[in-house]
C-alpha cells in the first residue's frame, strides 16, 4: 500500500523531453540510497555534483549545451533509462516483504519524530536520533510497510559548525531555500496549501504542511513561518533543538498536536501510532481529547489510544528525557485540551511518586503506550529498571540498526554485488546470504577497504586545508596537508555528538603513553575526531577545544585531527574509511549507538566499552575489541583509559601491521570479514523494522 498525499508541484526545471524524468528522481530521496541513481548525477557533471550534492540545485544550474551532449551519449542515456526503470519498478512494486507477511494491513503506521536525517543537504537532524529516524523511513519504504511520517520543517535547521584557531566552536544557521529542496506544499481545501490551527494562550497558531517523499513513505513537515502568524510565532519551527525551554515546549506542541490534526485533515486514520522519543508525546493527549469530544469518557479514550500506540525510548535514564516546568505545560494545555482536567494532565507527566514540579514527556508517552521499547537489549534492561512502575512490566529491547544501502561505501558495495548478487539489498531480510562474505578473497576485501580509506583521506585533507587557510596558516603549512593522513597508517575514528557522557577525551588521559603509541617509528597510529556539541552544552564544547588544542601541539601534529562541521557526509566518509571505530561512553548511558554499526558493515573493527549495541554485537574478540568492565558495573576514566591503551599496544596495533608478503594483514582481514558478516543483517534497519512490525505494528493493527 502506497500512502499518497497530493502536493502542489514545485517550480519546473528546464529539462529536455528525453530526460524529463530526472525531475521525478530528484524529488524523491530514493536516489540517495540507490547506487546507480546517485551515480547518475556524477555522470552529468562530476565536479559540480560533488560540490552541490543537491539534485534540485544541481539540475537548475546545468547549461543547455550539456543536455545536448548528454542526449547524444548512448552510455549515459542507457544509464538514465535503467535508473528510471528501477525507480518506477520500486515505487510500483506490490511484491514487498510487508505485503507477503501481513497482506491485511490496509492503513499506515504513523511515525512521529522531532528530527530526520535523510541526506546531508536536508538539515533536519542533529545526530543519531535523526539519522536513525531517516533510516527507519527508508527501510519502511524498502520493506513496503505502509507508513506516513510527521516532523517539523526547520527553516534554519541544526547549526553548521566551524572551529576557530583555539578550538572554540562557532555556530551559524544558514536559511534553507525551499525552492532548491524536494519539499512541496500539501494541497488543502480550494487548492491552497494545507494548514492546521492550534489554540495557544491568547491566540491561534497556524502550521502549514509540506511533503518530502522518501521512497514510498511521505514525510509531512509542519511549518509555523506563515503570514497568518504573529512574528513571534513564525519562528517556532525555525531551529532544531532551540535553547529556550518555552520555545522548545511550543515546538513539541506543534509537533504532537499538529501531527494528529494534519493526518485527520488528510483523511488518514493510522492503524498504529509510533511515538519515537518523548518530543512527540503531546500527540497522545490530542488523540485522547478528540475521543472525549466524540463522547468517550477519559478512561475509555485512554484505552482506545493506548491500544494503538507504540513508544520508543532512546534515553537510558529518566533524567535524559525531555522535561518541562509543569506550570508552563498547563498554561498551554488549558487551551489545547479543555476536555482533560489540569490535575489529570499533571499526573500523566509525573515520572515518579514525588511531584518535583516537572512534566516528563517520556512518562506521558509510556502511560499511553501498549508497547514500550528500548533501543538495544541492554537498554531494554535499563529502561525496565527505571520505568517498570509505569510500563507495568519490562520494556522490550528492539536493537537499533542502520540502513545498509545508505551507509555502505562504494567499494564494499561492489563486493556485495559480486558476492551476494546485484540485487543484494533484497537479501537484507535474512541472515543466511551474508555468510558468503567470509569467502571473499583477502586481497580483494583489503584493497576495497583501502579504496574507501583513500577517498576519506582526500576529502578530509580538503576540509583541513580549507580550515587551516581560514585560520591564516601559511603556504608551507597548507602544503603539509598533502601528506597528512597517509593510508598506510592505522587510522582510528571517533565521530558522534560531543556530549560529555560519550567521553571523547578518554583517549587523552595519559598523554605521554598516547604519544608513544601514536608516534611509534615502525607502527604509527592516527586518530580522526568529528562531532558537534549543542550550543548550550559548555562541557561538550570544552571537549572539542581540548581535542583541537592537542592536535596543534608539535608532539601530536600529523597524528591527531579534528574535522569540523560534522554531518551525514562526514559520517559516511569516516565510517567507510577508518580501520577502527572508537566508542567510549560511560555505561549504561549509551542506549544503542549506531556509528559503530556503520563502520562494521564497511569492515571497520570496533574498539568499545561493552555498552549499547556492542554489548550484544561483540563476538569474543573476532570482530573487534572490548575494554572496561562488563555488565552495569561502575566505570572509571583512569581504569578504562588504561584498558584502552593496553589493547592498542598489545593487540590492535601489532595485528594491523602484521602483513604477509603481499602487504595484506590476513589476520586483520579475517576480523573484517567477521565484522561485516555479523553486522549487515543483525544490525540493519531491515532486521529492526521486521522486529517492530512482527512485535508491534502488525499485532497492534490487528487490535
Query: What is the tens place of the pLDDT at every residue in 234-292?
Result: 999 999 999 999 999 999 999 999 999 999 999 999 999 999 999 999 999 999 999 99
Domain housing 537: 436-683
Does residue 157 share a domain with residue 64?
A: no
Quick one: pLDDT band at residue 122, thresholds 50, 70, 90? very high
pLDDT value, residue 10: 79
Give burial (CB, 10 Å; 0-12/13-18/19+) of 482: exposed
> CA 579, CA 592: separation in Å to the nearest integer?
21
Total domains in the chain come to 3
Quick one: pLDDT band at residue 320, thresholds 50, 70, 90? low
Does residue 530 share a domain with residue 387?
A: no
pLDDT value, residue 508: 95
pLDDT in tens, 39-68: 999 999 999 999 999 999 999 999 999 999
Quick one: pLDDT band at residue 318, thresholds 50, 70, 90? low
Does residue 103 share a domain with residue 83?
A: no
pLDDT in tens, 662-685: 999 999 999 999 999 999 999 999
Does residue 116 share a domain with residue 51?
A: no
Q: Is residue 67 part of a domain?
A: yes
**Residues 701, 462: contact at Cβ < 8 Å?**
no
pLDDT value, residue 403: 98
Does residue 510 share a domain with residue 380?
A: no
Final residue belonging to a domain, choices 61, 92, 123: 92
Does residue 248 share a domain with residue 182?
A: yes
Does residue 520 share a domain with residue 652?
A: yes
Quick one: pLDDT band at residue 357, thresholds 50, 70, 90? confident
DSSP state of 431: S
Does residue 193 share a domain with residue 164?
A: yes
Q: Is residue 196 part of a domain?
A: yes
Does residue 377 share a domain with residue 476?
A: no
Residue 160: give its domain's CATH number.
3.40.50.2000
The candidate with the shortest Cα–Cα distance to 112, out of 261, 301, 299, is 261
pLDDT at 319 over 60: no
Q: Is residue 408 part of a domain?
A: no
Across 197-210, b (16+ Cβ under 10 Å) vs e yields ebebeeeebbbbbb
Does residue 447 share a domain with residue 353?
A: no
Q: Is residue 551 part of a domain?
A: yes
**Residues 611, 588: contact at Cβ < 8 Å?**
yes
Going from the C-alpha of 81 to that of each of 25, 32, 53, 105, 695, the distances in angstroms are: 12, 17, 21, 33, 40
Does residue 158 share a domain with residue 82?
A: no
pLDDT in tens, 157-193: 999 999 999 999 999 999 999 999 999 999 998 899 9
Going from the C-alpha of 248 to that of each of 17, 241, 299, 323, 539, the distances in angstroms are: 47, 7, 29, 10, 21
pLDDT in tens, 522-565: 999 999 999 999 999 999 999 999 999 999 999 999 999 999 99
Q: Is residue 411 part of a domain?
A: no
pLDDT value, residue 356: 82
> CA 262, CA 266: separation in Å to the nearest integer?
6
> CA 373, CA 694: separation in Å to the nearest integer?
14
Final residue belonging to a domain, choices 69, 92, 115: 92
Q: Is residue 421 part of a domain?
A: no
**Residues 637, 503: contact at Cβ < 8 Å?**
yes
pLDDT value, residue 287: 98
Stronger pLDDT, 438 or 12, i.e. the higher one: 438
Rounded to 10 deg, the angle between the 685-692 and 128-143 helix axes is 70
Does residue 675 share a domain with residue 595?
A: yes
Which pTM was predicted? 0.97
Mean pLDDT for the chain? 95
% the chain with pLDDT above 90: 93
pLDDT value, residue 316: 76
Amino acid at each position: 500500500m502506497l500512502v499518497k498525499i497530493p502536493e502542489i508541484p514545485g517550480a519546473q526545471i528546464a529539462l529536455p523531453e528525453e530526460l524529463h524524468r530526472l525531475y521525478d528522481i530528484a524529488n524523491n530521496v530514493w536516489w540517495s540510497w540507490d547506487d546507480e541513481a546517485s551515480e547518475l548525477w556524477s555522470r552529468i557533471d562530476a565536479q559540480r555534483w560533488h560540490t552541490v550534492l543537491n539534485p534540485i540545485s544541481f539540475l537548475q544550474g546545468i547549461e543547455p549545451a550539456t543536455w545536448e551532449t548528454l542526449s547524444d551519449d548512448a552510455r549515459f542515456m542507457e544509464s538514465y533509462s535503467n535508473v528510471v526503470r528501477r525507480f518506477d519498478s520500486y515505487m510500483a512494486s506490490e511484491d514487498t516483504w510487508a505485503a507477503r507477511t501481513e497482506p491485511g494491513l490496509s492503513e499506515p503506521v504513523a511515525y512521529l519524530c522531532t528530527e530526520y536525517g535523510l541526506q546531508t543537504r536536508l538539515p533536519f537532524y542533529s545526530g543519531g536520533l535523526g539519522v536513525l529516524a531517516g533510516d527507519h523511513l527508508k527501510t519502511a519504504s524498502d520493506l513496503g510497510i505502509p507508513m506516513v511520517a510527521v516532523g517539523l520543517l526547520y527553516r534554519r535547521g541544526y547549526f553548521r559548525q566551524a572551529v576557530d584557531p583555539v578550538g572554540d566552536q562557532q555556530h551559524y544557521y544558514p536559511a534553507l531555500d525551499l525552492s532548491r529542496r524536494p519539499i512541496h506544499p500539501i494541497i488543502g481545501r480550494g487548492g491552497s496549501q494545507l494548514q492546521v490551527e492550534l489554540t495557544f494562550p491568547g491566540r491561534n497558531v497556524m502550521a502549514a504542511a509540506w511533503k518530502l517523499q522518501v521512497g514510498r513513505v511521505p514525510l509531512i513537515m509542519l511549518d509555523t513561518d506563515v503570514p497568518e502568524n504573529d512574528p513571534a510565532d513564525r519562528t517556532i519551527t525555525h531551529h532544531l533543538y532551540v535553547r529556550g525551554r518555552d520555545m522548545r515546549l511550543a515546538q513539541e506542541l506543534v509537533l504532537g498536536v499538529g501531527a494528529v490534526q494534519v493526518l485527520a485533515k488528510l483523511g488518514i486514520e493510522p492503524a498504529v501510532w509510533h511515538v519515537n522519543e518523548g518530543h512527540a508525546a503531546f500527540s497522545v493527549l490530542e488523540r485522547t481529547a478528540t475521543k472525549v469530544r466524540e463522547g468517550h469518557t477519559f478512561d475509555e479514550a485512554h484505552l482506545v489510544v493506548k491500544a494503538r500506540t507504540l513508544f520508543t525510548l532512546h534515553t537510558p535514564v529518566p533524567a535524559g528525557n525531555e522535561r518541562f516546568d509543569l506550570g508552563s505545560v498547563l498554561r498551554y494545555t488549558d487551551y489545547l485540551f479543555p476536555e482533560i482536567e489540569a490535575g489529570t494532565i499533571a499526573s500523566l507527566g509525573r515520572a515518579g511518586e514525588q511531584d518535583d514540579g516537572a512534566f516528563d514527556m517520556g512518562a506521558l508517552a509510556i502511560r499511553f503506550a501498549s508497547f514500550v521499547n528500548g533501543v538495544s537489549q541492554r537498554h531494554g534492561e535499563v529502561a525496565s529498571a527505571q520505568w517498570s512502575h509505569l510500563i507495568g512490566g519490562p520494556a522490550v529491547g528492539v536493537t537499533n540498526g542502520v540502513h545498509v544501502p545508505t551507509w555502505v561505501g562504494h567499494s564494499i558495495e561492489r563486493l556485495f554485488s559480486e558476492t551476494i548478487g546485484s540485487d543484494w539489498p533484497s537479501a537484507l531480510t535474512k541472515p543466511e546470504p551474508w555468510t558468503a562474505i567470509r569467502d571473499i578473497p583477502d586481497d580483494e576485501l583489503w584493497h576495497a577497504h583501502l579504496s574507501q580509506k583513500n577517498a576519506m583521506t582526500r576529502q578530509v585533507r580538503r576540509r583541513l586545508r580549507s580550515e587551516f587557510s581560514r585560520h591564516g596558516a601559511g603556504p608551507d603549512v597548507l602544503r603539509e596537508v598533502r601528506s597528512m593522513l597517509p593510508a598506510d597508517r592505522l587510522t582510528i575514528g571517533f565521530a558522534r555528538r560531543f556530549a560529555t557522557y560519550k567521553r571523547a577525551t578518554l583517549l587523552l588521559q595519559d598523554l605521554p603513553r598516547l604519544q608513544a603509541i601514536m608516534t611509534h617509528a615502525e607502527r604509527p597510529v592516527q586518530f580522526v575526531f568529528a562531532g558537534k556539541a549543542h550550543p548550550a552544552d559548555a562541557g561538550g564544547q570544552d571537549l572539542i577545544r581540548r581535542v583541537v588544542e592537542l592536535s596543534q601541539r608539535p608532539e601530536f601534529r600529523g597524528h591527531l585531527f579534528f574535522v569540523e562541521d560534522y554531518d551525514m557526509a562526514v559520517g559516511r566518509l569516516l565510517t567507510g574509511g577508518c580501520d577502527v571505530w572508537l566508542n567510549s561512553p560511560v555505561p549504561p548511558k549509551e542506549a544503542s549507538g549506531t556509528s559503530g554499526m556503520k563502520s562494521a558493515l564497511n569492515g571497520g573493527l570496533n574498539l568499545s566499552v561493552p555498552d549499547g549495541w556492542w554489548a550484544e554485537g561483540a563476538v569474543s574478540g573476532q570482530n573487534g575489541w572490548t575494554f572496561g568492565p562488563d555488565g552495569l558495573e561502575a566505570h572509571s576514566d583512569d581504569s578504562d583509559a588504561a584498558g584502552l591503551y593496553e589493547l592498542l599496544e598489545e593487540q590492535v596495533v601489532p595485528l594491523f601491521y602484521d602483513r604477509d608478503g603481499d602487504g595484506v594483514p590476513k589476520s586483520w582481514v579475517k576480523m573484517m570479514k567477521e565484522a561485516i558478516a555479523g553486522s549487515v543483517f543483525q544490525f540493519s534497519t531491515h532486521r529492526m523494522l521486521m522486529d517492530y512490525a512482527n512485535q508491534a505494528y502488525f499485532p497492534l493493527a490487528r487490535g
